[in-house]
Structure 1
């Protein structure tokens, strides 16, 4: 049995939603403060009514961007693990993590309010991210590329520290250098 072909209006709606998520992610990452929803709609090339049809509130848009970014991070860990050596996969994943942190800059106050009011499953996000790091570490343990005495929580704490002192994009070179130092420390001593 074949799947029914989506109607043109459904295809347009899916395309608009995807475009809004991509643009919102980019705008949130580059904004110093929370951008207006009109700005996001304009950048996406849609009207404000289209944005509200997909995301009726700022919180709905922030939650969707947040969920999309967490999914990219967790799925990205698996994709990297299957295509690269464990150490290189972990290092590339660290770059993805930095991008995820940077995305939150332009939605930080809404995000914090949502976490505080328990509208966002922050504990679940933490669990998913720790599991992604742990998968990468275990692959590195199996090949002998990564130390076995370092936990996923240790790596997460280091990453938060690095991106706190070297926020992206303005301190990308410093963040890159610090991530390379971290990776050096994650390799077994001989």
Structure 2
């Protein structure tokens, strides 16, 4: 989409397409047909293509929007007086939310790298890293775990949550492994 200002109806249609795409991608990942997304949004396929030139562009927009939300939430938590509680609570919330959305799992797991490597992904990693570093400096995270280890740990926790739904104690086992 270009940087032009959209008419109100075009903005509404774009928002409807993004919401429908997030819902569809959450279930089927990038495999969902664009026609299904258009139908779910209540618009024609042409409307989808006017806003997003390809399914990959739409997928990326959905993932970027979610990563921006995660980054914003982490930013709001950065100055908390309880760095360990905030870090572990945030980590758990991201896993719980992302595990219900196949698109986000694919992005965080690297299956769709460009969206995760976007500015939104950079900001998410930066803010999550700050939460980690604060907990680390407070001695609430194992000394041998680095900020670079977080993505692998997140992917592992997502896999646990997706393959054993309804058993949140398993993700807590992963998180407990981060504690000194």
Instruction: Sort the TM-score into its range (normalised by shorter chain).
Output: 0.7 to 0.9
Please name the residue that 1:27 is paired with.
24
- Any gaps of 5 or more consecutive residues in structure 1? 1-6
Q: Residues 32 and 59 (structure 1 numbering): CA distance in 2 closer, same or farther, change over 3 Å?
A: closer
Q: Which residue of 2 aligns with 1:179?
A: 171
Which residue of structure 1 lines up, in the alignment, with residue 43 of structure 2?
46
Matched, 1:137 2:132: yes
* 1:91-170 alignment runs, 5 A limit: 91-94=88-91, 95-97=93-95, 99-100=97-98, 102-104=101-103, 112=111, 120=114, 123-124=117-118, 127-167=122-162
SS in 2 for 1:76: helix
Aligned-pair distance for 1:135? 0.7
Number of aligned positions between the proteins: 171
8 Å contact kept, 2:160–2:171: no
Deviations along 1:112-135, whole A, 9 cap, x unmatched?
A: 5x75xxxx3654576544423321
Q: Which TM-score applies when normalising by structure 1?
A: 0.69
Deviations 1:21-64 (A, max 9, x none): 12211211112771111211121222222211111221221221
Alignment-derived partner of residue 88 in structure 1: 85
Compared with structure 1, are the counterparts of its residues 105 and 79 closer, same or farther at alpha carbon in structure 2 (3 Å cutoff)? closer
Q: Whose radius of gyration is greater, 1 or 2? A: 1
CA contact (8 A) 1:74 1:132 kept: yes
CA contact (8 A) 1:23 1:43 kept: yes
Unaligned runs of 5+ in 2: none
